[in-house]
């Protein structure tokens, strides 16, 4: 009996969470509840009462962490824009052949940025904030900062397009616009087969732009040489 008591007494007790850790957990619950409502009901449906209910906290607890709707919306903007600004995991190895590089890029971008549920929530937030100049400017500032870097990195990892396509920057914009459009279309019940098919076509477009562009430039160089 004493041995059992001693063994139980010797078991390490789970570390108690600090107040800050508990607060972080509550804030994340509130943010996730708000994102879910944005995705399912739009900005109008994401009122503070509904957000608090979804987070399983009182309205007072929500307002303790986010004193007003403006502050919560600002935090949500930062939350939904963060994956769209994180470029580290999207880019494939430069050592891969063009086709494998294009496939890796498109699939990773879809799985980590454009095809995730928070992307639909992001656009609900973007449209909903259009009437609020201060919030919309916050969104636009993030976009202005992230988009040029994305386009630059795209051409850096696809030098075939950067070297041979007649409009490389516009082509990069087209690729991202395609992914964005597919992401918004996730508002509807789209089958995985349809999404996979569209992603495969986008991969083919990138590969074609990097290969036919090379051929076109070579032919142009031959013609120019022939004229001399």
Q: Which domain holds residue 53?
A: 17-67
pLDDT tens readout for residues 8-62? 555 655 556 687 888 889 999 999 999 888 888 888 788 899 999 999 999 999 9
Give the pLDDT score at 124: 85
Q: Is residue 25 located within the same domain as residue 82?
A: no
Give the pLDDT score at 159: 94
Give the pLDDT score at 213: 55
Q: Is residue 180 located within the same domain as residue 94?
A: yes
Q: Is residue 97 located within the same domain as residue 174?
A: yes
Decide if 120 contacts 39 (C-beta within 8 A): yes
4 is a domain residue: no
Give the pLDDT score at 76: 87
Give the pLDDT score at 224: 46
Residue 88's CATH number: 1.10.357
Give the pLDDT score at 219: 45
Q: Is residue 46 located within the same domain as residue 123?
A: no
Decide if 89 contacts 53 (C-beta within 8 A): no
Give the pLDDT score at 11: 60
CB atoms under 10 Å from CB of 205, counted, come to: 16
On the CB side of 101, CA atoms within 13 Å amount to 20
Residue 137 neighbours by CB under 8 Å, 6+ apart? none
Spatial separation of the C-alpha atoms in residues 77 and 84, rounded to whole Å? 11
On the CB side of 24, CA atoms within 13 Å amount to 5
Give the pLDDT score at 50: 92
Residue numbers of the chain with a pLDDT score lower than 50: 215-228
Decide if 8 contacts 89 (C-beta within 8 A): no
Residue of 202, 205, 206 whose CA lies nearest to 157: 206
Residue of 86, 71, 79, 90 whose CA lies nearest to 28: 79
Q: Is residue 90 located within the same domain as residue 159?
A: yes
- Alpha-carbon Rg for the chain in angstroms: 24
CA terminus-to-terminus distance, the chain:
102
* Domain tally, the chain: 2
Give the pLDDT score at 220: 45
Give the pLDDT score at 144: 86
Q: Is residue 98 located within the same domain as residue 205?
A: yes
Give the pLDDT score at 14: 54
Given the structure tokens 């500032």, which residue do they identify?
Answer: 141
Residue 56's CATH number: 1.10.10.60
CB atoms under 10 Å from CB of 53, counted, come to: 15
């Amino acid at each position: 009996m004493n041995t059992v008591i001693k063994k139980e007494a010797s078991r390490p007790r789970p570390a108690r969470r600090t107040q800050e850790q508990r607060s972080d957990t509550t804030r994340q619950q509130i943010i996730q509840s708000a994102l879910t409502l944005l995705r399912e009901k739009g900005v109008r449906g994401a009122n503070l009462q509904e957000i608090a209910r979804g987070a399983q906290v009182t309205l007072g607890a929500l307002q303790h962490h986010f004193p007003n709707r403006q502050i919560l919306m600002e935090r949500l903007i930062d939350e939904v824009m963060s994956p769209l600004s994180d470029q580290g995991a999207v880019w494939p190895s430069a050592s891969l052949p063009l086709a494998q590089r294009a496939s890796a890029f498109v699939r990773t971008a879809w799985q980590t940025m454009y095809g995730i549920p928070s992307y639909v929530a992001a656009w609900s937030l973007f449209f909903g904030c259009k009437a609020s100049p201060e919030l919309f400017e916050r969104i636009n500032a993030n976009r202005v900062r992230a988009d040029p870097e994305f386009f630059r990195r795209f051409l850096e990892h696809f030098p075939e397009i950067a070297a041979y396509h007649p409009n490389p920057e516009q082509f990069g914009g087209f690729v991202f616009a395609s992914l964005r459009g597919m992401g918004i279309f996730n508002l509807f019940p789209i089958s995985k087969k349809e999404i996979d098919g569209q992603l495969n076509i986008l991969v083919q477009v990138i590969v074609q732009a990097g290969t036919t562009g090379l051929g076109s430039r070579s032919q142009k160089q031959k013609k120019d040489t022939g004229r001399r």
